[in-house]
């Protein structure tokens, strides 16, 4: 009985809805369009408008994403190029500091500016005592042990160990076992070796000549090239303290030119092939 009453109620509802739809189809709006058609068109218009807005928003988001990604890649390439050019400028300055007059007097061919190959620092040693970093260039990229590594600011260190195909380990110049033969930019005189350590500043000079004015605070320290690893004329750092009065214990501390805590892109110094043009 209850089921029969429900069927009657449903039938009445369907009949009423049908009547309303028929009337709406016959009744016209002020624009002369049937009300039912006007409502249907309006509803579909809203759906189309919402769909178009969503499609435009999605397209705009993707366009902005690809534009930003392209800009980031371009900025990274420009940054690497700037560092390469700064390294080349430093190499040119180093070449100019060499004893060109002596070379000309002896009829020697002037030393060519070394080739510079950019590499990115991809890892650092977790141990502060190790003072090494890893770069994304290796043996297949022409990197070999004991090649010097510089940055736009100055000397970074040298390649140690055996490089893998596409990675190599760099011993930083502030490593306690690292050293480089150096000279004073002001006088051009050799003043021993710059050695790394755990002090502040993290470098000092050893084997300094017994001359009170051989080194002064503020002097710029350059590589002398006598160690056979670092080409002459590259910047090491600046003398921060120079105490030469005590002959048995001369103290000369050096503040490195390179910020070793923020290394990103470095330059590997590669020798030019024999007979290559400058």
Distance CA 162, CA 157 (A): 15
Question: What mean pLDDT is predicted for residues 137-142?
Answer: 95
Q: At residue 163, does pLDDT exceed 80? A: yes
Tell me the domains of the chain and their CATH numbers: 113-270 (2.40.10.340)
> Which two structure tokens, joined as six digits, stand for 202?
């993290």
Give 90-134 as a 3 state SS string: HHHHHHHCCCHHHHHHCCCCCCCCCEEEEEEEEEECCCCCCCEEE
Residue 59 zone, left/alpha/beta (φ > 0; ψ -120 to 50; rest) = alpha
Reported as half-sphere exposure (CB side, CA atoms, 13 A), residue 262 has a value of 5
Percent above pLDDT 70 for the chain = 62
Which is nearest to 90 in space by CA: 230, 226, 190? Answer: 230
Indicate the average pLDDT of the chain: 77
Other CB atoms within 10 A of residue 220 CB: 16
Provide the 8-state DSSP code for 161. Answer: S
The SS3 of residue 225 is coil
The SS3 of residue 16 is helix
Reported as half-sphere exposure (CB side, CA atoms, 13 A), residue 161 has a value of 13
What pLDDT was estimated at residue 250? 81
The SS3 of residue 65 is helix
Instruction: Indicate the helix (H) or strand (E) that contains 90.
Output: helix 35-96
Q: At residue 160, does pLDDT exceed 50? A: yes
Residue range 60-99, pLDDT digits in tens: 665 665 667 667 777 777 777 777 777 777 766 666 555 5
What pLDDT was estimated at residue 159? 97
Q: At residue 247, does pLDDT exceed 90? A: no
Which residues face 172 on adjacent strands?
157
Most confident segment among 41-45, 101-105, 107-111, 226-230: 226-230
pTM above 0.75, yes or no: no
What pLDDT was estimated at residue 261? 87
Q: Is the peptide bond before 201 cis (omega within 30 degrees of 0)?
A: yes
Question: What mean pLDDT is predicted for residues 246-271?
Answer: 88
Question: What mean pLDDT is predicted for residues 25-51?
Answer: 53
Helical packing angle, 35-96 and 2-26, nearest 10°: 80
Measured in whole angstroms, how far is the alpha carbon of residue 172 from the centre of its chain? 17
Q: Is the dihedral of CA 163, 260, 151, 219 positive or negative?
A: negative
């Amino acid at each position: 009985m209850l089921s029969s009453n429900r069927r009657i109620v449903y039938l009445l509802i369907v009949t009423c809805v049908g009547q309303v739809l028929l009337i709406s189809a016959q009744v016209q709006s002020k624009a002369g369009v049937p009300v039912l058609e006007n409502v249907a068109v309006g509803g579909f218009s809203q759906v189309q408008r919402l769909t178009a807005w969503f499609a435009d928003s999605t397209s705009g988001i993707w366009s902005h994403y690809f534009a930003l990604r392209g800009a980031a890649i371009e900025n990274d390439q420009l940054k690497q190029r700037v560092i390469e050019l700064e390294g080349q400028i430093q190499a040119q300055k180093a070449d100019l500091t060499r004893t060109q007059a002596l070379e000309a007097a002896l009829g020697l061919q002037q030393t060519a500016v070394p080739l510079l190959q950019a590499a990115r620092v991809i890892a650092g040693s977790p141990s502060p005592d190790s003072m090494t970093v890893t770069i994304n260039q290796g043996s297949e990229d022409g990197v070999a042990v004991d090649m010097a590594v510089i940055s736009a600011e100055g000397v970074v260190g040298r390649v140690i160990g055996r490089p893998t195909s596409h990675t190599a380990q760099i011993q930083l110049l502030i490593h306690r076992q690292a050293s480089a033969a150096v000279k004073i930019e002001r006088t051009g005189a050799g003043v021993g070796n710059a050695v790394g350590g755990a002090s502040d500043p993290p470098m000092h000079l050893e084997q300094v000549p017994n001359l009170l004015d051989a080194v002064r605070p503020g002097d710029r320290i350059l590589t002398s090239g006598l160690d056979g690893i670092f080409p002459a004329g590259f910047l090491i750092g600046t003398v921060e303290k120079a105490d030469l009065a005590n002959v048995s214990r001369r103290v000369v501390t050096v503040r490195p030119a390179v910020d070793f805590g923020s290394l990103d892109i470095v330059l590997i110094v590669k020798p030019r092939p024999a007979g290559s043009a400058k």
